[in-house]
């Protein structure tokens, strides 16, 4: 079943015999075609947000196993798949993809080509800048960067985005969320004493420079989005009140979508001797990747508030939400309630990559349900291949459930 909005042809009525979602106006929004930024047509409103796979090489190259993982997500029926973070800078990053040099273009190109050739999905690349961290406990902060180092960052993002476009992907997502460089500049925890710290205007300066440089590099016809924190969930950190202003400013710069997350900060991380500090070990980390004991839709209110703020200001930019959205019924309710325009489903699609297809075809009872145990997060944090514990429990597979 594909529900199609009026004016695009076809029928929005569900197939006979299939489960019918509660509908507000006769349209199942989750599985309707949608345009991001008026530029990118996607087959539905299901997004796979960035999830680190640990399937890249130690030098940041795309591998066959990584391609197969993203193909699985795409074949499973998601309309828009965004890769794990891709580093914009030449530095040690473990098994993390990179676009810091032209030599990485062929691998990403192969990934994009396979997605486009074998599925209906669109593929985006999330680009990231991060600071140094070591097992000794040392952690570089934005206050440690020289002004010259800060000034290099927009060009790093722009060049990586340009390479992504050359590789044939459909969109670039700027990683402005969680513990990393850009979010740390936006944060109230930013204590720099120059024009990149202190006031909200100053904390927004680098983000504005990155967006402008990226847009210039890829052109107006290419989709550029950003992932931001709706709330950092740390004492003294950015809250929804500040995030409203951040979202308004980014929308005014012409971004094509905003993906709203939360938490994942170093400021409340729990140290473990002999291991690098993890921004997902404290309460803010639990809010970034909610556990089973947290309510469904635990972070959706952040996206809903930001979306409402943007609409009141006259911006129609699409807003994506994430955070413990286990079923298509919950996702559809978010869309019907106008809490978001796109629903980002991460761990449930890791648990069952065919989550979208099964729900769309009325086979929700066949979905392998995520139990939000976060063992996938633990594996990623230990630099191991990210899989779902339920795969091996069911059939010993490391590839995921079948269609």
What tens digit of pLDDT does each residue of 37-67 get? 999 999 999 999 999 999 999 999 999 999 9
Which pTM does this prediction carry? Answer: 0.91
CATH of 36-395, one of 3.30.360.10, 1.10.10.10, 1.10.4080.10, 3.20.20.70: 3.20.20.70
Exposure on the CB side of residue 354, measured as CA atoms within 13 A: 14
Other C-beta atoms lying within 10 Å of the C-beta of residue 106 = 12
Element (H, E) at 217: helix 200-218
Q: Which of the residues in the chain have pLDDT under 50?
A: 1-20, 22-23, 25
Predicted pLDDT at 274: 82
> Which position among 180, 280, 359, 372 bears the catalytic label?
180
pLDDT at position 399: 63
pLDDT of residue 5: 35
Task: Return the structure tokens found at 130.
Answer: 């991060």
The pLDDT of residue 27 is: 52
180 is catalytic: yes
In sequence order, the β-bridge partners of residue 126 are: 85, 173
Give the domain ranges of the chain: 36-395
Check residue 148 and give its pLDDT. 97
Q: What is the pLDDT of residues 227-276, one digit of tens each?
A: 999 999 999 999 999 999 999 999 999 999 999 999 999 999 999 888 88
Query: What pLDDT is attached to residue 377?
Result: 83
CA dist 394 and 401 (Å) reads 9
33 Cβ contact partners less than 8 Å away, ≥ 6 residues apart: 2, 4, 5, 8, 41, 42, 43, 44
Instruction: State the pLDDT at residue 397.
Output: 57
For strand 80-87 and strand 46-48, is the pairing parallel, antiparallel, or unpaired? parallel
Query: CA-CA distance, 369 to 390, in Å (whole number)?
Result: 9
Count Cα neighbours of 320 within 13 Å in the Cβ-side half-sphere.
31
Question: Strand pairing partners for 128?
Answer: 87
């Amino acid at each position: 079943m594909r529900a199609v909005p009026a004016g695009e042809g076809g029928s929005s009525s569900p197939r006979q015999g299939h489960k019918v979602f509660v509908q507000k106006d006769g349209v199942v929004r989750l599985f309707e075609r949608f345009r991001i930024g008026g530029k990118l047509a996607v087959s539905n409103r299901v997004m796979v947000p960035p999830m680190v796979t640990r399937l890249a090489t130690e030098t940041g190259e795309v591998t066959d196993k990584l391609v197969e993982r993203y193909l699985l997500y795409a074949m499973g029926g998601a309309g828009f798949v965004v890769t794990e973070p891709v580093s914009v800078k030449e530095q040690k990053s473990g098994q993390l993809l990179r676009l810091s040099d032209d030599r990485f273009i062929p691998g990403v190109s192969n990934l994009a080509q396979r997605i486009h050739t074998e599925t209906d999905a669109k593929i985006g690349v999330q680009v990231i800048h991060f600071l140094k961290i070591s097992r000794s406990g040392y952690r570089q902060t934005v206050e440690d960067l020289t002004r010259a180092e800060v000034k290099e960052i927009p060009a790093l993002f722009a060049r990586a985005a340009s390479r992504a476009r050359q590789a044939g992907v459909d969109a670039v997502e700027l990683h402005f969320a969680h513990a990393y460089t850009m979010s740390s500049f936006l944060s109230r925890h930013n204590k720099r004493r120059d024009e990149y710290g202190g006031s909200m205007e100053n904390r927004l300066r680098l983000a504005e420079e990155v967006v402008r440089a990226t847009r210039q590099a890829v052109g107006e016809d290419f989709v550029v989005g950003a992932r931001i924190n709706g709330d950092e969930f740390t004492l003294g950190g950015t809250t929804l009140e500040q995030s409203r202003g951040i979202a308004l400013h980014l929308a005014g710069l012409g971004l094509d979508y905003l993906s709203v997350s939360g938490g994942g900060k170093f400021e409340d991380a729990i140290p473990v001797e002999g291991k690098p500090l993890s921004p997902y070990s404290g309460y803010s980390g639990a809010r970034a990747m909610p556990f089973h004991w947290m309510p469904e839709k635990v972070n959706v209110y952040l996206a809903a508030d930001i979306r409402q703020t943007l609409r009141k200001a006259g911006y129609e930019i699409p807003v994506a939400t994430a955070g413990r959205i286990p079923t298509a019924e919950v996702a559809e309710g978010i869309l019907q309630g106008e809490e978001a325009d796109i629903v980002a489903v991460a761990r449930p699609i890791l648990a069952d990559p065919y989550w979208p297809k099964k729900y769309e075809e009325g086979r929700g009872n066949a979905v392998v349900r995520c139990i939000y145990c976060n063992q996938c997060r633990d594996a990623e944090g230990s630099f191991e291949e990210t899989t779902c514990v339920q795969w091996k429990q069911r059939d010993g597979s490391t590839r995921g459930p079948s269609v």
